[in-house]
Amino acid sequence: MLSERSIPPLVKALIAVLAIEVIVAGLNLALPPDMSRAEQASAVALDDQGDWLRALPIKGGTWRIRADLALTDKSYIDHLLKMEDERFYEHQGIDARAIMRALLSNIHAGSVVSGGSTITMQMAKLLEPKSRTFGAKVIEACRALQLELRYSKSDILSLYLTLAPYGGNLEGVRAASLSYFGHEPESLTLGEQALLIALPQSPEARRPDRHPKAAKAARDFVLWRLQTSGAISQQQYQEAQSEPIPTKRIGFPSLAWHLAGRLASQAKGLDASIHTTLNARLQRRLEGLAREVAKQQGPASSVAIIVVEIKTRAVKAWIGSAGLDREGGWVDMGNAIRSPGSTLKPFIYGMGFDDGVIAPETRLMDAPTRFGDYQPEDFDKVFHGEVSVKEALIGSLNVPAVSVLNKIGASGFEARIEGAGVALRRPKSGLSDAGLALALGGVGVKLSDLVTLYAGLGDKGLIKPLIYEDQQMKLAPYQLGYRLLSESSATKVMNILRETSAPAGRLPAALMKVSNRPAFKTGTSYGFRDALALGVAGGYAVLVWTGRPDGGARADMTGREASAPLLFDVFDQLNTPSNLPNHMAPPKAPDALITLKSHNSGPTLLFPPNGATLYVTAAKKSLDGRLSGVEGLKLAARGQGQLRWYVAGEPLISGDDGMVWQPPSEGFYELSVVDDSGKTTTTHVRVKAIEGKVRP
């Protein structure tokens, strides 16, 4: 047996090293670094292109948005490492050279001017904040070694840029860049980079929104050090010094506040982001339209809009209210249960087609009729006598719809609707049957369920659930759906709804080329509490609701007058193609219309129609409504010889693109067109502007 003296010194040294490594490894496993802070980050909802919609703060109200090195300015990272940890990619968590250099600097200065901490050591301190003592420094060094054993350099740098403090409740370079500069850190000016490098060392004392002078001094010192080290040129140094310091924080982007917030709250994992099916550009435009309409309809009014892509059932826009600054604006009306008014009538007739009890030209009586103890009336209090099914649906007549519902059975209709996943809520508990009143809105329905039904109507009667997340899109082609109506019946209903007359100010169907001709239905609940319009066109289903979130009544606000115009505006924003109705004319024209007798009564005005509200895109809109950079409106008319246009009596000059008018401001205008015979046709329009990028 070998004695201790007989063991060679080299072997003893190797055993000692091995023992130390075993002890260190044991301690490393037994006392791992606390990564709980790194696992908490603000949830971010992104649109279908990866653009920001909305983020949620973590517990305590802190904005900690996870950094992404691939989307962070590379020169900023280079300058950060130049200032904070030049040998970051060479050391294993502790930089002996930096510590020695810092020690000599402190001795020379007679005070602590440099700590020699690496990015990894700073990361350790951010994970487990401690007071600045020698013992705390030793612990940070040990933790830095542990972090280097566990994570890659990219991971450590990403975690540092996520947890670094930037003043107030801001943590991470993304939160700081968005709040101070109003943009992501993908591209930063040299001055912005220097400020972001300076802030974490003393975030509260250098906050630019509270201490702009201190922030500028710290930024300029970083710039000086970068210039003296050769990282930037003298000219770059001088130009960066002249950049202004931000003195106010900017609010984070917040689109689709209700839906994006709900989806973000469901985000899980370290990434803490969720990719939605929403489109930020469309969402922004429709939110602007919703605010305008709500202002017009009164201080207590709100608006909800849902846009669904029929092919995938992806929700592309969700406006839950007209704004958080309005009454009830915090309520997500897209998920609210409201009366559907007459919007279920198309499905009543569709089921009647399926059951073989009616056809589009079946004659029905619109006359006072009692169904047991229930006697419905038409909305206009006028009965129209004998009408066809097509006429009854286009005119939204009540008695014919109730007659068909009575024929197919109210309970059967309700069961088929609920079989599609759409729950009908009765107004009073204990009622076993909603009865015939459900034809006229006598039940409650979630607005998102209503647009689900109409998306199915546009998909030839096949009902499928809505999709909100990008990852669900992969499953969309495999959703079997629920057959609510046959293809034939759904097509008949759609063809009838396309013949519904457009809202006031819209072109006739035959003249619609740029605008869309949706198959649509309106609905108004009792007391004008809900004004609804739902439509299908160009591969999209759209719901528009206007009303009061508290359920209060609004005088004379019908679905046709209060919501249908906005529905058409939404389809215009979608830029979908025209979709004219199939020919469903009676077999013979009335005697008086067999021959078209024409006479020259003046020019025929094609665009704009009388009484229309025209939306224009303007680069800028002043407080008094003056517009600059307006996208022109192309005027059109038909008449004898050369036509001349006038606005408020002033002539318009025709250009290469024809007669294009650029309104100078919002407001009401009188436009006139005169033909060679001197006959004049006049139209009155209202111009409203939406700020945005004008097409060249």
Neighbouring CB atoms inside 10 A of 310's CB total 21
Tell me if residue 233 is catalytic: no
Long-range pairs for 4-13 at CB < 8 Å and ≥24 separation? none
Select from 35, 57, 142, 547 the least CA-distant residue to 326.
547
What would the DSSP string read from start to end of 442-508?
-SBEEHHHHHHHHHHHHTTTEE---B-BGGGGGGGGG---EE-S-HHHHHHHHHHHTTSPPPTTPPP
What is the C-alpha to C-alpha distance for residues 149 and 151, in angstroms, rounded to an integer?
6
Long-range pairs for 420-428 at CB < 8 Å and ≥24 separation? 420/452, 420/453, 420/456, 420/463, 420/482, 420/484, 421/449, 421/452, 421/463, 421/465, 421/482, 422/446, 422/449, 422/450, 422/452, 422/453, 422/463, 423/449, 425/337
What is the C-alpha to C-alpha distance for residues 138 and 130, in angstroms, rounded to an integer?
11
Q: Which residues pair with 687 in a beta bridge?
A: 614, 667
What is the C-alpha to C-alpha distance for residues 346 and 288, in angstroms, rounded to an integer?
30
What is the C-alpha to C-alpha distance for residues 572 and 286, in angstroms, rounded to an integer?
11
Phi, psi dihedrals of residue 29, rounded to the nearest 5°: -80, -40
Select from 292, 298, 296 the least CA-distant residue to 550.
298
Count of positions (residues) in the chain = 696
Residue 410 and residue 431 in contact, taking contact as beta carbons nearer than 8 Å: no
Cα torsion 292, 294, 296, 297 to 10°: value is: 160
Which residue in 177, 301, 342, 448 is the catalytic one? 342
What is the C-alpha to C-alpha distance for residues 426 and 408, in angstroms, rounded to an integer?
20
Q: Provide the 8-state DSSP code for 636.
A: E
- For 521-537, b/e burial (b = at least 16 CB within 10 A) is bbbbbeebbbbbbbbbb
3-state DSSP assignment of residue 542: strand
Residue 108 sits at the vertex; the CA angle it makes with 104 and 110, to the nearest 5 degrees, is 115
Tell me if residue 243 is catalytic: no
Rg (CA), the chain: 34
Neighbouring CB atoms inside 10 A of 647's CB total 16
Phi, psi dihedrals of residue 78, rounded to the nearest 5°: -60, -45
Catalytic amino acids? 84, 342
